[in-house]
Structure 1
Amino acid sequence: MSLQARLDAFKADFEAGNPPYNMSPAMIATMHRATAALIESGAAENARQVGDKAPSFELKDPEGRVVRSEDLLEYGPLIVSFYRGVWCPYCNMELQALEAAKPAFERLGASLVAISPQTAPNSRKSVRQNRLTFPILSDTRGDIGAAFGLRFSLPPDLVDLYKTLKNDLPTFNDDPSWSLPMPARYLIGQDGTILYADVNPDYTRRPEPEALIAVLEAHQPTSA
């Protein structure tokens, strides 16, 4: 089953209000309004795109080790997935799909990281629950997400709903701002140029990991 098919199946179950979600039509309507407003804002079009230079970053992994994009790019292209948090089932399914595709990425010389505003303990939980062999880096206060043009503030009615659902983002992220990155996936070439970009303000839509493989193959170094 494709990643998007899995996401669609989950969304149908979630929005039907089936246990354990028990979502009401009013709750679903609030989520839909917030997504529609973010789409209409044009924020995704203002994020970093193919051909742009990717902002460099220096972030910590769940164990406190510093990971630098410049160091990773010395060894090959870099895949970066911006991830909302361990509380987001759509994001977790995407991470699982990326993990399954990771051997193919590595055969083509690419490394893979995820970036989230969540705290290190939540990243450790995500790595453990999703059985990941790549790190989730902590983007403190969302600075790197903002540099990529991905960070946005949640509207007040969605904040109220998240509080009802116990999605306490200030605690998850150790940041009082109630902000998140739009889900995004990038492939960055060794010179820092973005070779692939998918930014979607609808968090229920994610590209298939296989989309990266064709781009990686197209940018393989040619022998002299």
Structure 2
Amino acid sequence: MYSVLRAACGLLLAPLAVSAQTAPLSASPLKVGESAPAFAAKDANGQSVELSKLLRKGPVVLYFYRGQWCPYCNKQLSQLQDSLQMLTAKGAQVVVVSPETQDNIGKTVDKTSATFPILHDQDFAIMKAYRTAFSVDAATARKYQGFGLDLRAANGASQDVLPVPATYVIGRNGKIKFVYFNPDYRQRVSVKQVAQAL
């Protein structure tokens, strides 16, 4: 199963085709020094999480991940959980954002033992605000379905959209102080790098 999902993950390295039905989303990172867009969303337990409230406690580390079906995402979140103390010791609040439904987020929690909030990004609102969202072309979405992955069903959405697995560090002043943004989903920022940014 792992090899099948790795093969499915690999499909997204191909260039994205433009959909004639809807304007495709294109990802491009926010810059250091920009104001972080406000957001509020619910975690797997239905609890509301708001950026403004988190920032009252300390800086926020915001991760984006694609789904519980992605072995690279599960590995990253497991490593994050294992090294979480490196970030919380610096007063950081860690939040993870996914397009997945709350049920699928629950599967991610089971797989990674995550104790940090993982938020369902309804209508990709947070992903769009942080410019991580991109449209998956129809041919790639069909190939994913051949591997047993229906992105629309997994995300409870009417479009095939995924995030670049980016990471932002947001200072208590609401300004972005660190950005890791790599369209190659196989490359992830280390917890050590994030801790240094804090």
The aligned residue for residue 23 of structure 2 is none
The aligned residue for residue 66 of structure 1 is 48
* CA positional deviation for 1:29: 7.5
* Residues 13 and 184 in structure 2, CA contact (< 8 A), matched pair in contact too: no
The aligned residue for residue 33 of structure 1 is 14
Amino acid at match of 1:183: P
* CA positional deviation for 1:47: 1.9
Inter-CA distance 87–74: structure 2 relative to 1 (3 Å threshold)? same
* Residues 34 and 158 in structure 1, CA contact (< 8 A), matched pair in contact too: no
Inter-CA distance 32–150: structure 2 relative to 1 (3 Å threshold)? closer
* Residues 2 and 71 in structure 2, CA contact (< 8 A), matched pair in contact too: no
Inter-CA distance 60–50: structure 2 relative to 1 (3 Å threshold)? same
- Structure 1 distance, partners of 2:64, 2:9, is 24
The aligned residue for residue 129 of structure 1 is 111
The aligned residue for residue 116 of structure 1 is 98
> Residue 169 of structure 2 aligns to a residue in which SS?
strand
* CA positional deviation for 1:34: 3.5
Structure with a larger share of its residues in helix: 1
Query: In structure 1, which of residues 164, 188, 194 is the aligned counterpart of residue 170 of structure 2?
Result: 188
Larger Rg: 1
Amino acid at match of 1:57: F
Gaps of 5+ in 2: 19-25
RMSD of Structure 2 on Structure 1 (CA): 2.2
* CA positional deviation for 1:167: 1.2
* CA positional deviation for 1:32: 3.4
Inter-CA distance 167–22: structure 2 relative to 1 (3 Å threshold)? closer
> Residue 21 of structure 1 aligns to a residue in which SS?
helix
> Residue 118 of structure 1 aligns to a residue in which SS?
coil
Aligned length: 190
Inter-CA distance 105–161: structure 2 relative to 1 (3 Å threshold)? same
Identity of aligned residues (%): 34
- Structure 1 distance, partners of 2:89, 2:2, is 40
- Structure 1 distance, partners of 2:4, 2:10, is 14
* CA positional deviation for 1:31: 4.0
The answer to whether the aligner puts 1:204 opposite 2:186 as a matched pair is yes
Q: Deviations over 1:167-209 (max 9, x none)?
A: 1111111002001111101110011101111111111111111
The aligned residue for residue 158 of structure 1 is 140
Gaps of 5+ in 1: 1-18, 38-42, 217-224
* CA positional deviation for 1:22: 5.3
Q: Which runs of 4+ in 1 moved over 2 A?
A: 19-23, 27-32
Q: Deviations over 1:78-98 (max 9, x none)?
A: 001001111111111111111
Inter-CA distance 20–73: structure 2 relative to 1 (3 Å threshold)? closer
* CA positional deviation for 1:30: 4.4
What TM-score do the two structures reach when normalised by structure 1? 0.79
Inter-CA distance 29–186: structure 2 relative to 1 (3 Å threshold)? closer
